[in-house]
Amino acid sequence: MLTILKTFVSRFLILILSFGLVIFSTQFWGSEGKGTISIVIANAAIVGFFSSIFAGSSTSYFASKFKTEQILVYSYLWSILTGIAVPLLFLFSKIQSAYLFHLIGISIFSALLSVNVNLFIGMRNIKMFNIYTVLQQLLHVVFLFGFIFILNLKEVSTYFTAQTFCLAFLFLISFFQIIKKCKSSNFKFSSEVFRNMFDYGWKNQFSALIQFLNYRLSFYFLEHYEGISTVGIFSVGITFAEAIWTITRSIAVVLYSEVINSKSRDESILKTKHSLKLSFSLMMIFILGIIVIPASVYELIFGSAFRRTKEIMLILSLGIFAIAVSDMVGYYFSGIKELKILNIKSIIGLAVTIFLSVILIPEYGIYGAGIATVASYCVSASILFYHFYRSTTFDVKDFLISKSDWNDIKSKFLKK
């Protein structure tokens, strides 16, 4: 519980920094600039899913099963290869291809840093994981402000340059932390390591990539039908959602670390149900906040071009809630290597996104994108819960924090 509390605090800091970065970018570059940032970062995230075949959860999963040096050999090489090769595909699509070199820089260093951070998760060193996830946001802000207000670089590309410098700096620090514990003689290729990491990685990342497209495909439909400025406006709502998810995913990351190191399926289920309680309660608070905040506040913070943000947030709120809570179940299935279920829910969710986006966005624009997104989120979440409760009993208490739970949280927090 104490580990979850620490991770929660770190993710809350990320939430504040994320909101600050969104507010600054919308005010400084407007809806068109925010739209450009959203598309390029979405492209980088797509590259990241290919990189994460070796650099993502497979690194965490096998951290306690193979030598660190053998994992690093494949993870680092794969990160560099995909960080260069996959962005080149965007030249053919012409989707913000003017920022190709920025995309390559962000993709490579993001993947390399991800390797190191995921090693910390696999080793149950959640403290270092928390530190680096907070620093990614904090140093991005520091570099961005330095470039803009000291070096007087005010183009939208400055956002990407600052992010690249931030990721590279953190990678180097974490690299020296890890490498000092490694032996040069252990850096060797192993077909067993490659085969296991690739098999686990592509199955896990296939699901993650498809699920990400559920989150971001509406951006590309909106750009096609409505223009880049509309993407900027809609992306604020999605950014809010993902910022909120950083809080509940702090619980999910701890759960994942515990599940992959657990020897009992019943113990893993019990911990998953405990995580469901926490995420459900937190999301009730955040959704209530979305409902209560007046539309004028969003317009005041982001500017007059974003006057529809409150309406978008209300449309997305049910989907935000569904994904946040079901993430606990998703991380459970990932931890026990039941990846087929994750693939099924992601593919069905993507089909819903595509089908409804083609129908609704041309007719209803930004609101159609919101409806399509929520439908996809809810369908994906429903599939996860259906499969989870086939293997265990359903109880409403799984989602409600009891008095003993609160006492446990308070006692451990006060003790610390």
What's the pLDDT score for residue 403?
66
Instruction: Work out the number of other CB atoms within 10 angstroms of the CB of residue 344.
Output: 16
* Amino acid at site 411: S
Going by the DSSP 8-state scheme, the letter that residue 402 receives in this structure is -
Reference 122, options 171, 67, 83; nearest CA is 67
Per-residue pLDDT of the chain (416 residues; tens, 9 = 90+): 555 556 666 666 777 787 778 778 888 888 788 788 888 888 888 888 888 888 887 888 888 788 888 889 889 999 999 999 988 887 776 655 678 899 999 999 999 999 999 888 877 777 888 888 889 989 999 999 999 999 999 899 999 999 999 999 999 999 999 888 888 877 888 888 888 888 888 877 777 777 777 777 888 888 888 887 788 778 777 777 777 777 777 778 778 778 877 778 888 888 888 888 888 888 888 888 878 888 788 777 777 767 777 888 888 888 888 888 888 888 888 888 787 888 888 889 889 989 999 999 998 888 998 899 899 989 999 999 999 988 888 777 777 776 666 665 555 444 44
Instruction: Work out the number of other CB atoms within 10 angstroms of the CB of residue 220.
Output: 17
**Angle, vertex CA 159, rays to CA 153 and CA 163, nearest 5:** 120
What's the pLDDT score for residue 406?
61
Q: What are phi and psi of 293, to 5 degrees?
A: -60, 125
Torsion of CA 400, 405, 406, 411, to 10 degrees: -170
- How many angstroms separate the CA atoms of 151 and 257, rounded? 42
Long-range contacts: 291-295, Cβ < 8 Å, 24+? 291/317
Q: Cβ distance 366 to 233 under 8 Å? A: yes
Q: Is 229 helix (H, G, I), strand (E, B) or coil?
A: helix
Cα 62 to chain centroid, rounded: 21
Q: Cβ distance 331 to 255 under 8 Å? A: yes
- How many angstroms separate the CA atoms of 388 and 386, rounded? 6
Q: Cβ distance 56 to 205 under 8 Å? A: yes
Q: Is the CA virtual torsion 379, 380, 381, 385 positive or negative?
A: positive
pTM confidence score: 0.67
